[in-house]
């Protein structure tokens, strides 16, 4: 994780793909020990991790055109 920017309105973080799973999995497994804000962030990171790997492409003319 790298802090890209920090000011009074927020923080911008950069995560490496390889680090997302290592961060997300233990927190989700112990979700009952964390607050809503932490879990919201972790679920967003987990979704992004999934989207990075999702390489679906719509086939050409899927409806028989």
Indicate whether 31 belongs to any domain: yes
Domain count, the chain: 1
- What pLDDT, in 10s, does the model give residues 9-60? 999 989 888 888 888 999 999 999 999 999 999 999 999 888 887 677 777 7
Q: Determine the pLDDT at residue 64.
A: 63
Indicate whether 48 belongs to any domain: yes
Q: Do 1 and 15 form a contact (C-beta atoms < 8 A)? A: yes
Indicate whether 8 belongs to any domain: no
**Which residue range(s) make up the domain with 30?**
16-53
For residue 57, which phi and psi values (nearest 5 degrees)?
-130, 130
Going 2 to 4 to 7 to 10, the CA torsion angle's sign is negative
The average pLDDT across 5-9 equals 94
Q: Determine the pLDDT at residue 60.
A: 79
What the block records as the tokens of 6 is: 């920090």
Indicate if the pLDDT at residue 65 is higher than 70. no
């Amino acid at each position: 994780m790298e802090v890209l920017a920090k000011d009074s309105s927020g923080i911008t973080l950069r995560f490496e793909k390889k680090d997302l799973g290592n961060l997300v999995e233990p927190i989700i497994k112990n979700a009952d020990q964390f607050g809503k804000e932490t879990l919201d962030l972790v679920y967003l990171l987990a979704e992004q991790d999934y989207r990075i790997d999702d390489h679906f492409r719509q086939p050409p003319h899927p409806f028989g055109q």
